[in-house]
Amino acid sequence: MRNSLNGFMAGARQTGLLVLPLALLLSMFGLVNVAVAEERSGPFLVLYGAPGSEKSANASYISEKYAVPHIDISVILQEQIAEAIEFKSAPGSKKPGIRYTNAWNERNKHIQAVLKKLKNGELISDNVVNTAVLARLLEDDCKNGFVLDGYPGSVEQAVFLDALLMSRDIDSLQVILLDVTDEIALNKLAELGKKGIRKGVPDQILAVFRSRVTPLLEYYDGDSLQVVDASQGQPAVQADIDSVLGK
Q: What is the 3-state secondary structure (H, E, C) of 212-243?
A: HHHHHHHHHCCCCEEEEECCCCHHHHHHHHHH
Question: Which candidate, 124, 92, 85, places its Cα nearest to that of 107?
Answer: 85
Q: Which residues contact 223 (CB under 8 A, 6 or more apart)?
A: 3
Determine the pLDDT at residue 75: 87
- One digit per residue, the tens of pLDDT, for the chain of length 247 reads 565 443 544 444 344 344 444 544 554 445 544 444 355 678 999 999 999 999 999 999 999 999 999 999 888 887 877 766 655 555 554 555 455 556 656 656 666 676 666 666 666 788 888 988 998 999 999 999 999 998 999 999 999 999 999 988 898 899 999 999 999 999 999 998 887 767 678 898 899 899 999 999 999 988 789 999 999 999 999 999 999 998 6
What are the extents of the domains in the chain? 5-73+141-245
pLDDT the model gives residue 17: 43
Q: What is the pLDDT of residue 227?
A: 95
| Backbone region of residue 54 per phi and psi (left: phi > 0; alpha: psi in -120 to 50; beta: other values) | left
What pLDDT is attached to residue 152? 96
In the sheet that 173-179 helps form, which strands lie side by side, from edge to edge? Answer: 70-72, 146-149, 44-49, 173-179, 225-229
Please give the CATH architecture assigned to the domain spanning 5-73+141-245. 3-Layer(aba) Sandwich (3.40)
Would the pTM count as exceeding 0.85? no
Please report the pLDDT score of residue 223 as a whole number. Answer: 74
Alpha carbon distances (Å) from 69 to 34, 46, 103, 114: 22, 12, 35, 24
Q: What is the DSSP string of 30-59?
A: TSS-SS--S-----EEEEEE-TTS-HHHHH
